[in-house]
Chains A and B, each alone.
Chain A
Amino acid sequence: MADIKKWKHYAKSRYGQVHFVTAKPVDERAIKHPPLVCFHPSPTSGDMFRDLQMILARDRVVYCPDTPGFGSSDGPTTEPTMADYGAGLADALLDMGYSATNKVDIFGFHTGSLCALEVAVQHPEIINKTVLSGVPHYTPEGRAEQHKIISGGYPMLTNPDYVGTMYKRLVLDGSEAGELEQRYYRFVNRLRAGPKGWWGINAVFTMDTAAALPKLKMPVLLIAFNEMMLQPTRDAAKIIPDVRMVELLDLPMFGFITAPDKVAAEVQKFLG
């Protein structure tokens, strides 16, 4: 495998600092494509993409930021919209020098797909191509129904059994994607986001994706796994102007963790 250099750093945003885990080939002559920025689902962190990142970083820089309020990134102090999250992430990319003459590709999964959507709609000039996976695109009624399910927040400090129960379910029982150590640190990142960690999903189910998706002006790839967002992703494909769709139905929800090579191959085929 090519030697990959991986490091962590911060960039500035309206909420303070955005934390990045970044990887690139040690020999920079191997870099052949624009950088790729990967936006994670809630309530996790950029570390979700660690396996995918190491594959894609063989011939490009791959940034995995922590969305504001998650991982090691500073976050909003009041409940944000998805536009707020997108703006915070875009701030960081602009702070790092990306522009109309120095573009990036972007990839997002679940909440991250809507973060990517907002970045692409707010700053199309810095985006080359967009990959969205597991897109939570619902009708207003469907959104409201989902919002009712998730609202109320994470009762870490009010329900004495919540943390222990979540730990057993997400880490120990083995049904979640990834090795034990990955599942453990994913749980830790959920704890780090705290009781406000639900703000990410709250922003998802209050975003009018029907208004935003048609605004994507660049080429878009949709990747669907065999999970709850399969149909919403198919529905999203119908309203994006320049789109192609790949369905990896042999892969479960976090397909980029269970089969990173397969997902990377599709991303590379599209991005170049």
Chain B
Amino acid sequence: MNDSMFTNRRDVLLGTAAAFIAAAIPRARAATNDSNVKIKKWRHYADCRYGQIHIVSAEPADGSGKNKTPLVCLHQSPTSGDYYREFQALMAQDRLVLCPDTSGYGGSDHPNALPTMADLGGAMAEAFVNLGYGKNAPGTRSLGPVDWLGFHTGNYLITEIVAQRPDLVRRLVMPSIPYYPANEREDKRKQFSTPRPYFTDPEYVGKSFKDGVLNAKSELTKERLMDFFVDRMRAGPESWWAFDAVFRYDADPALAKITQDVLLPIMSLETLAEPTRQAAKLMTKAKSVQLLDLPGLGGVNWQTTPDKLVAAIKPFLDKA
């Protein structure tokens, strides 16, 4: 199936699916951003194997976003879809942008046992099938595939969605892939996936709050840092589970299964810049792999200069 065939089919489907979307995804009030485009933003849920996935969605309030493929943004751990709040507000000026919370984070239900990346990716895929995307969606006709953006953990949810439900996937944007060779992963797992001593160290939460919010050297406001702190706390005693899944993940064959167009923004201030370059070499079956150097950018730029990331990503998503 080529892009032009799919576009025609999608246009027809979107017209008939509009009522379905209206029923399934309740609308909230419009928000504004720095541009003149009014954005409609709302929160909703979709079913998955663990219960529900929580999603923050945004699109142009005048309905003009329906002609572009939706973009789904998958967050790093232990945050939530709210990580992309500033980026979403800009990106949603001309398309639907969905920012779900990975199972066990934000408002999404927790897995009932330590999950693998296949479990987390599978749950996310289920949520989007239940929203009507991909083939064989329950109920009415499918809304088709979406574009996917990941960051850190989010990138491995993407590789699992590609492997399990390629019908959900059009294009991929994968900055900061946590790729390490197999012989390095166990050390990383021990370093990052340790339970936080919430109940054993009485000073832990207070100290973490001071370090992460009150005394943090950051360009972000204390209020925004507090949002991130709250998201860490919401993940609870199991906040380490996604890290465990990342560093147990056999990423090599997963990366080799990608057959779509891929954009790899290389954010120079990210420790995962070089791992992303290494991961690119394994995407041997991808239709295309484009590395895009973004000097001077790091994770905090999703919040501080989202316009730069939007400018870097949009041409790739919108190319013919």
Residue B234 is within 8 A (CB to CB) of chain A in the complex: yes
| Best-buried of B202, B207, B229 by chain A (most CB within 10 Å) | B202
Measured between alpha carbons, how far is A1 from B158 in the docked complex, in Å? Answer: 39
Does B29 contact A192, Cβ atoms closer than 8 Å? no
Q: A168 contacts the other chain (Cβ, under 8 Å)?
A: yes
Segment touching B, from A4-12, A33-41, A205-213, A252-260: A4-12
Q: How long is the Cα–Cα vector from A38 to B213 in the complex, in angstroms?
A: 34
Query: In the complex, are the beta carbons of B206 and A17 less than 8 A apart?
Result: no
Among B8-16, B40-48, B179-187, the one that faces the other chain is: B40-48
Within 8 A of A (CB), among B3-44: 26-29, 42-44
List of A residues within 8 angstroms of B43 by Cβ: 10, 17, 19, 72
CB pair A156 B107 closer than 8 Å? no
Binding site for B on A (CB under 8 A): 7-12, 16-17, 19, 72, 74, 156-157, 160-161, 163-165, 167-168, 171-172, 180-181, 184-185, 187-188, 191-192, 194
- Are B199's CB and A180's CB within 8 A? yes
Give the residues in chain B near A156, CB-CB below 8 Å. Answer: 226
A17 to B43, CA, bound (A): 8
B28 touches A167 (CB 8 A): no
In the complex, the 5 A-B pairs of residues with the closest C-beta atoms, listed nearest first:
A164-B206, A167-B205, A163-B209, A188-B233, A17-B28
Whether A164 and B209, one on each chain, are in contact in the complex, defined by CB atoms closer than 8 angstroms, is yes
Contact residue among B44, B199, B210 (Cβ-Cβ distance under 8 Å from A172): B199
Q: Is the pair B198, A10 in contact by a Cβ cutoff of 8 Å?
A: no
Q: Which residues of B contact A161 (CB under 8 A)?
A: 206
12 inter-chain pairs at a CB distance below 8 angstroms, sorted by A residue, are: A7-B45, A7-B51, A19-B43, A164-B203, A165-B206, A167-B206, A171-B198, A181-B237, A184-B236, A184-B237, A187-B233, A191-B230
CB distance from A191 to the nearest CB of B (A): 5
Contact with A along B110-139 (1 / 0, CB 8 A): 000000000000000000000000000000
Which of under 10, 10 to 19, 20 to 34, or 35 or more describes the interface residues of B?
Answer: 20 to 34
B193-229 vs A: 1/0 string, CB under 8 Å?
0000011001101110110011000000011001001
Nearest opposing residue in chain A for B209, CB measure: A163
| Partner pick for B42 among A7, A10, A160, A184, CB 8 A cutoff | A10
B52 at interface, CB cutoff 8 A: yes
A168 x B29 contact (CB < 8 A): no
In the assembled complex, the CB of A171 is this many whole angstroms from the nearest CB of chain B, namely 8
A11 neighbours in B (Cβ, 8 Å) = 26
| Contact B202–A157 (Cβ < 8 Å) | no
Q: A164-B203, A185-B236 are in contact. Are A74 and B229 (CB under 8 A)?
A: no
Closest to B221 in A: A157
Is A7 within 8 A of B52, CB to CB? yes
Q: B231-246, CB under 8 A of A: which get 1 and which 0?
A: 0011011000000000
**Contacting residues, chain A, for B203 (C-beta < 8 A):** 164
Q: Is the CB of B26 within 8 A of A10?
A: yes
Interchain CB contact under 8 A, B213 and A157? yes
Interface string of B70-112 (1 = CB under 8 A from A): 0000000000000000000000000000000000000100000
B27: chain A residues within 8 A (beta carbon)? 12
Q: Which residue of B lies closest to A11 (CB)?
A: B26
